A and B are shown apart, each in its own frame.
Chain A
Amino acid sequence: MKRRFTIPTWIPTLVFAAAIYLAVRYATQTETITRYWYQVIQFAAITAISALGLNLIYGFNGQFSLGHVGFYAIGAYGSALITKDFGRNPWSGDRVGALSWIIAAQLGILLVLAAFRYLRIGRLRQRVRSTLASSLQPHECNVICLLLTLAITALILAAGYYATIGLHWVAYRLNTALYAALPQKLGVAVNFAVAILSGGTMAALVSYLVGLPLLRLGSDYFGIATLGFAIMMYTALQNSDLVIETMKGARGMVGIPPYTTWTWAFGALVVCAIIMRNLIRSSQGRAIISVREDEIAARAMGINVAQQKAMAFSFGGFFAGIAGALFAHLYGFLHPSSFNMIKGFDPLIIIVFGGLGSMTGTIVASIGFALLIEGLRVILPQGFEDWRFVIYPILLLLVMLLRQEGLLGTREWGWLRAPLPPDRDIPVPPRALAAQRAGGNNSEEA
């Protein structure tokens, strides 16, 4: 076979993305579209990021999660705390107080996780159990092992707590020095970027912690457990003023600086899409997909299924957190009702529409979804606004009944498509050809 010259797929994709970006920018600057639609378009990009995360969890890794909105909420509230602190009147008394605490807490959790990972408590417990098994009854062994685990866990947690306090001291000094050195305008931008990132990492950490025990459950049990997590998150947010006064609980958090612009939202979408595409098309990604296809076969091929699930779940949580952070700074107002159960089904519906396991489909469907929900508000005659949420479950039902694989199935466009294996002249051995033919015949007979 001769090598043909083809245009690299990233070129049309880049041109397309740049065209969209510039078109929206131009339309806003010339005020062709109203401020309202400008926000809708940003919201579409934000929804796309969150839905990409869920598609990684459910579409590519096959873990049915209904708790995505919980991670979205974590990203939103966490980043809002950081940027709100950075303003004129910091709620924690210091401009970088919340930021330092959040960074320190994340590092502390990471340390605790690393301790659990490298101290090998499971192995210790097994050794103790096998020693005791000869002389004690099983339930007595269980109690002793449980006691041992609890004691070690308490020790590690205590160590993590003190480490966090120490880290906070360090982070506080570093942050103060950093923002003193930066000029005012750049400082704000850096702070926003850091807030977005920590929104993402916070959500990723929590999703790792939640996913670690829950991912062992079977398909729909996992869905229900994550739904339970989302509802717990919602209830916690409604009562958040009991812990942190400035989150205001059910009254809604106000005074968040509205930093999000089209550039930030679109940039985050592009970065997330690149990360996710490269993850999916790597060997890691193939492992993630293999878990969806057949867990037992994947395990037989030497894939650490639990690890791949946790990996996909925390990456999905990361995207949700980033989307949440952008959402928090879009309107400058956060209310728990934006993160209730019904809103939590939105990303699920988007990925089902767009096609499970299709990034292109997810992005297209999110934009379609945001425009549809807002568009129906405009199209439907006066007094029929309530019909929006009647129409959209009907659409969902129709998709599920008539076209289960979604609009695009697993098809992708442009650069998002799986890269072709390199075109080389590898002669096919005649025996393999014969086997192929025989295999084809066999499958026809079956």
Chain B
Amino acid sequence: MNKAIARTALRGLVWLIYAALAAGIVWGIAYLVRINGPVYFVQSVIDGLRLGFVYALIALGYTMVYGIVRLINFAHGDVFMVGAFTSFYAISRYGWGFVPAILLAMIVCTLLNVIIERIAYKPLRNAPRIAALITAIGVSFFLEYFTALRWVFSADYITYKRPFEVVVWNLKGVLITNITVIIVGVTIGLLVLLQFIINRTKIGKAMRATSDDKPASRLMGINVDGIISLTFAIGAALAGAGGVLYAIAFPQIWTFMGIMPGLKAFVAAVLGGIGNILGALVGSLLMGTVDVMVVSFVPNGSRLRDLFAFLILIIVFLVKPTGIFGETQIEKV
């Protein structure tokens, strides 16, 4: 009898806590909506999602490369930067339109990343994983400082000229630009294409097999090295597109611009569960939203945004190191 009462009381306590948590979340959102008005809130969410879609393009490259070779490709953020600069030269110097510029950026990034993979990562395929990671850091530094030389891209901030006029639609106070539409459209288009490649083509099948088990897929006649290069190529193409979109959204570029978006996209990939494509998208959208929300609502937020981004990373690592969609792996002897 007593036990039954105690059980009911405890259960009631648990549900009380759940209710309190839910009420807290609802109250928190209501509070955010109230302090600066609903328009401001919706505007922040939309801006955050826009940033999140750009992060998603970078995060996909991280997640795919990690899924196949278990390497955190630090240079990925700098490939993203090269994409932005390529499109800048195509647009400002040669007057190209948006579509050819983004295609050029994707091609240049692809070539660059494949060359990096061949020179720097391939010889270390059988070395400890950390060796490749340190090499990736070296490549990242090299790209940053080499492109910062005066006769390459120069170390100055450069104003990016958009290849089209900005159109603003006003929906009851919430401003939506054609930049947002283009970013969301390009990202979703590339994502659908990527999903198609991975799930419906023979190459995609080979990629999935390689990420599952390299020696076995080699025995099945899959060209593992080729697949790895292809993964780097696809990731770089996405990063190149991301670079162009980022530069269009925030039209100021310099050679160190890739570090922070790169790291945040990586955090997003970890948040979603690294190696998982859907997870990378969801994680990036979350990351972008939090990033903009911190700037909008936290006092001194624009100065503290990086702190919050990495706080999320550490909390995710502590609570669920495998991320939202990640599967738990048991380390074998």
Question: A-side interface residues toward B, CB under 8 Å?
Answer: 64, 132, 135-136, 140, 143-144, 147, 213-214, 217-221, 223-225, 227-229, 231-232, 234-236, 238-239, 242, 296, 341-342, 345, 348, 352, 383, 386-387, 389-390, 392-394, 396-397, 400-401, 404
Q: Which residues of B contact A345 (CB under 8 A)?
A: 137, 141
User: Given B130, B142, B313, which contacts A397 in the complex, CB threshold below 8 Å?
Assistant: B142
Q: Which residues of B contact A135 (CB under 8 A)?
A: 3, 6-7, 10
* B240-257 with Cβ < 8 A to chain A: none
User: Given A218, A219, A389, A397, which contacts B120 in the complex, CB threshold below 8 Å?
Assistant: A397
**Known A-B contacts A400-B135, A401-B124; A239 and B300 likewise in contact (beta carbons under 8 Å):** yes
Whether B7 and A218, one on each chain, are in contact in the complex, defined by CB atoms closer than 8 angstroms, is no
- A-B contacts, 15 of them at CB < 8 A, read A64-B133, A143-B14, A214-B317, A220-B129, A223-B72, A231-B263, A232-B307, A235-B306, A296-B333, A342-B141, A386-B148, A390-B142, A393-B141, A396-B137, A397-B142
Q: Which residues of B contact A132 (CB under 8 A)?
A: 10
Chain B contact residues: helix, strand, loop or mixed? helix
B314, CB-defined interface residue at 8 Å: yes
**Known A-B contacts A136-B10, A401-B123; A143 and B18 likewise in contact (beta carbons under 8 Å):** yes
Whether A64 and B130, one on each chain, are in contact in the complex, defined by CB atoms closer than 8 angstroms, is yes
**Known A-B contacts A341-B259, A397-B138; A219 and B129 likewise in contact (beta carbons under 8 Å):** yes
Question: B-side interface residues toward A, CB under 8 Å?
Answer: 3, 6-7, 10-11, 13-14, 17-18, 70, 72, 120, 123-124, 127, 129-131, 133-135, 137-142, 145-146, 148-150, 155, 259, 263, 266-267, 270, 300, 303-304, 306-307, 310-311, 313-314, 317-318, 321, 331, 333
Whether A223 and B141, one on each chain, are in contact in the complex, defined by CB atoms closer than 8 angstroms, is no
CA distance A404 to B141 in the complex (A): 19
Q: Which residues of A contact B306 (CB under 8 A)?
A: 231-232, 234-235
* Chain A residue with the shortest CB-CB distance to B66: A220
**Known A-B contacts A231-B310, A232-B311, A396-B134; A140 and B11 likewise in contact (beta carbons under 8 Å):** yes
In the assembled complex, how far is the CB of residue A350 from the closest CB belonging to chain B, in whole angstroms?
A: 12
Whether B72 and A224, one on each chain, are in contact in the complex, defined by CB atoms closer than 8 angstroms, is yes
Whether A144 and B14, one on each chain, are in contact in the complex, defined by CB atoms closer than 8 angstroms, is yes
Whether B149 and A404, one on each chain, are in contact in the complex, defined by CB atoms closer than 8 angstroms, is no
CA distance A404 to B237 in the complex (A): 31
Whether A404 and B127, one on each chain, are in contact in the complex, defined by CB atoms closer than 8 angstroms, is yes
In the assembled complex, how far is the CB of residue B78 from the closest CB belonging to chain A, in whole angstroms?
A: 11
Whether A143 and B259, one on each chain, are in contact in the complex, defined by CB atoms closer than 8 angstroms, is no
**Known A-B contacts A140-B14, A225-B317; A393 and B149 likewise in contact (beta carbons under 8 Å):** no
Whether A214 and B314, one on each chain, are in contact in the complex, defined by CB atoms closer than 8 angstroms, is yes
Q: Which residues of B contact A397 (CB under 8 A)?
A: 120, 135, 138-139, 142
In the assembled complex, how far is the CB of residue B56 from the closest CB belonging to chain A, in whole angstroms?
A: 19
* Chain B residue with the shortest CB-CB distance to A404: B131
Q: Which residues of B contact A401 (CB under 8 A)?
A: 120, 123-124, 135
Q: Which residues of B contact A394 (CB under 8 A)?
A: 138, 142
Closest 9 interchain pairs by CB? A228-B310, A393-B141, A389-B145, A393-B142, A396-B138, A235-B307, A393-B138, A140-B14, A228-B313
CA distance A238 to B307 in the complex (A): 11
Extra A-B contacts (12), CB below 8 Å, given A228-B267, A393-B145, A397-B120 = A135-B7, A136-B10, A220-B129, A223-B130, A225-B313, A231-B307, A239-B307, A296-B333, A345-B141, A387-B149, A389-B145, A396-B135
Whether A136 and B307, one on each chain, are in contact in the complex, defined by CB atoms closer than 8 angstroms, is no
* Chain A residue with the shortest CB-CB distance to B15: A140
Whether B145 and A390, one on each chain, are in contact in the complex, defined by CB atoms closer than 8 angstroms, is yes
Q: Which residues of A contact B142 (CB under 8 A)?
A: 390, 393-394, 397
CA distance A140 to B310 in the complex (A): 30
Whether B333 and A232, one on each chain, are in contact in the complex, defined by CB atoms closer than 8 angstroms, is no
User: Given B13, B124, B127, B148, which contacts A144 in the complex, CB threshold below 8 Å?
Assistant: B13
* Chain A residue with the shortest CB-CB distance to B146: A390
Q: Which residues of B contact A223 (CB under 8 A)?
A: 72, 130, 133
CA distance A214 to B138 in the complex (A): 25
Q: Which residues of B contact A296 (CB under 8 A)?
A: 333
In the assembled complex, how far is the CB of residue B298 from the closest CB belonging to chain A, in whole angstroms?
A: 11
CA distance A227 to B313 in the complex (A): 10
Q: Which residues of B contact A229 (CB under 8 A)?
A: 310, 314
In the assembled complex, how far is the CB of residue B324 from the closest CB belonging to chain A, in whole angstroms?
A: 16
* Chain B residue with the shortest CB-CB distance to A225: B317
* Chain B residue with the shortest CB-CB distance to A216: B321
Whether A144 and B304, one on each chain, are in contact in the complex, defined by CB atoms closer than 8 angstroms, is no
